[in-house]
Copies of this chain bind each other. A is one copy, B any other.
Amino acid sequence: MSVTIKDVAEKAGVSPATVSRVIGSRGYVSDKNRRKIQAAIRELGYQPNVLARSMVTKSTCIIGLVVTDILNPFFAHLARGVEKVTWQEGFTLILANTDEDPDRETAVVRTLQAQQVDGLILVPSTSLPSPHLSELVDRKVPLVLVDRSVRNLAVDTVMVDNEHGAYQAVSYLVQKGHSQVGVILDNPEISTNIERLAGYRRALEEAGIPYREDLIRSCQYTEQSAHDIAAEMIARADPPSAIFTTNNFMTLGALNAIIERGMKIPEQIAIVGFDDLELPWMGPAQISTVRQPVHEMGNVAAQRLLARIRGDQSPALEIRLKTRFSTE
């Protein structure tokens, strides 16, 4: 059997309560006892059972981080950003994927709740109101949304200025003389895409360019699907002269479709992507991207959550970080 606080107490000739005081560095303990206890801990290789501690303190120091897909470098970086501050503050992170599936999201959130996490940072898989998130709010489980928002859910949300970022990107294309700008986005239900599309529309409107429904195409959240849509788009009689993609994978898919067709970038078709795309090697291709401070988003979300866990009762905040448009 593993060694418990009782074993340490016996070995040191004191009560468990005194050992507990030493472990938690709280209350008064005589130097003599402190030393004896520390020696006993070392000799026995004692490690406190945090489960038992959590039972009485009602705090697990565990935070759940729910992303849609850790394979997307964007979310991997986000996770690192969150991890950095939570680790520093002595919290453990449980990471879970939802695969952009609301049902899985529900299941994952339930599991995390059962684990008694102290709080949750979540990338919602839809912006539609979901009962499992309202439930969290009702139960006063600290929750911070990141990257995307959920309608009518009054919780802290950390996002970038999607509308403005897209506006900037599309304005750049317009300025370069493009009047037919295709858009490839995944799920049109998530807030980032809604906002980015709004930015796109505003850029066109401002330039007096009519909005063409047929240039907006949504697809599955896979590179393959984006590829197929892009291929179709550039193959038609009246193709766009530029494409705006709203995330990493869409950009890659579109890129491959363009390369396959043997078109030159940006001479024959321009492409601007959203997200901090780390293309390992872009070669001669010129791609401008709307860069997001993803690591910082993770930091900020984690700080917000910790503040809530520590009792911050202020009204829900919407925090917007700035994107940076970088032309290559």
Contact = CB atoms under 8 A, between A and B. Distances in A.
Interface of A: 2, 45, 47-52, 54-55, 60, 62, 70-71, 73, 76-77, 79-80, 83, 92-97, 110-116, 135, 139, 223, 252, 255-256, 259, 279-283, 285
Given A70-B70, A280-B252, A283-B259, A47 B114 contact: yes
A158 to B, nearest CB: 20
Contact of A96 (B54, B93, B116, B285): B93
User: Which has the most chain B C-beta neighbours within 10 Å: A77, A92, A279?
Assistant: A92
A92 B114 CA distance: 11
A83 B113 CA distance: 18
A139 B2 contact: yes
28 contacts: A2-B139, A47-B110, A48-B114, A49-B116, A50-B114, A50-B116, A51-B51, A51-B55, A51-B116, A55-B55, A70-B76, A71-B73, A71-B76, A71-B77, A76-B76, A83-B97, A92-B112, A93-B94, A94-B94, A252-B281, A255-B280, A256-B280, A259-B281, A279-B280, A280-B280, A281-B281, A281-B283, A281-B285
A211 B201 CA distance: 62
A70 B79 contact: yes
A52 B58 CA distance: 11
A321 B3 CA distance: 38
A62 B62 CA distance: 12
Complex copy number for this chain: 2
A54 B52 CA distance: 9
A281 B251 CA distance: 11
Nearest to A50: B114
A51 to B, nearest CB: 5
A167 to B, nearest CB: 26
Nearest to A54: B51
Contacts of A97: 80, 83
Contacts of A71: 73, 76-77, 80
Contacts of A281: 252, 255-256, 259, 279, 281-283, 285
Contact of A73 (B73, B110, B135, B259): B73
B60 A113 contact: no
Nearest to A282: B281
A135 B77 contact: no
Nearest to A97: B83
Contacts of A256: 280-281
A2 B110 CA distance: 14
Contact of A50 (B2, B70, B94, B115): B115
Nearest to A49: B116
Contacts of A92: 94, 96, 111-112, 115
Query: Which A-B residue pairs are the 8 nearest by beta carbons?
Result: A95-B95, A252-B280, A50-B114, A283-B283, A71-B76, A94-B94, A51-B116, A51-B51
Nearest to A107: B87
Nearest to A94: B94
A51 B60 contact: yes
